[in-house]
Amino acid sequence: MKPLRKKHLLAWRLLAVLLPAGIIIASLSLPVQLPQQLLQPGAASPLPIVLKKADRLNYTVAIRSNTTGSALQLEWINKTVLQYPTATIYAGENSKDISTAKLVGRIEARGNWYFALDSTFKTAGANHFIVYDFIHQQVIDTINCTP
């Protein structure tokens, strides 16, 4: 039937125009992806003076300072692969309670990690650290750095 063929041809012509237009409009309406940002700051260089140090089988922890003593830094060196990939470091006086401790940073993989310590660590004596697994909600280790 001639009228149905005309309607069918019209429908195909509309689809030939609307489908590409719809695809272009849909691709333009997608939100722009933001560049991925790391939760940890980039690799920093170690400060020159080691004030306190703790050496363990799997890692070494040191508190470093600059020559003027105005900046403190926590250096964490993983010697082996981490057994707890969700480990975070807290600084606090109580070895089992992280609710009163201050979050220092997160260690992720084998290598060296450097965390800046602010001025509150100078007055508190910054020598007691808690390694905490936030997925299993348990204290992994406590570290006392000695001069």
| Contact present, 90 and 104 (Cβ < 8 Å) | yes
Give the pLDDT confidence of 112-146 residue by residue, as tens digits: 888 888 766 665 555 678 888 888 888 888 887 66
C-alpha 35/C-alpha 38 separation (Å) is 10
94 pLDDT exceeds 90?
Answer: no
Helix (H) or strand (E) segment spanning residue 18? helix 2-29
Sequence ranges of the domains in the chain: 49-144
At 133, list the tokens: 């697994």
Residue 48 sits at φ, ψ, to 5 deg, of -75, -30
Lowest-pLDDT choice from 50-64, 100-114, 115-129: 115-129
Contacts of 144 (CB under 8 A, 6+ apart): 54, 127, 128, 129
Residue range 20-48: average pLDDT?
77
Give CATH for domain 49-144: 2.60.40
* Average of per-residue pLDDT across 12-30: 93
**DSSP SS3 for 120:** helix
> Does position 53 have pLDDT exceeding 60, yes or no?
yes
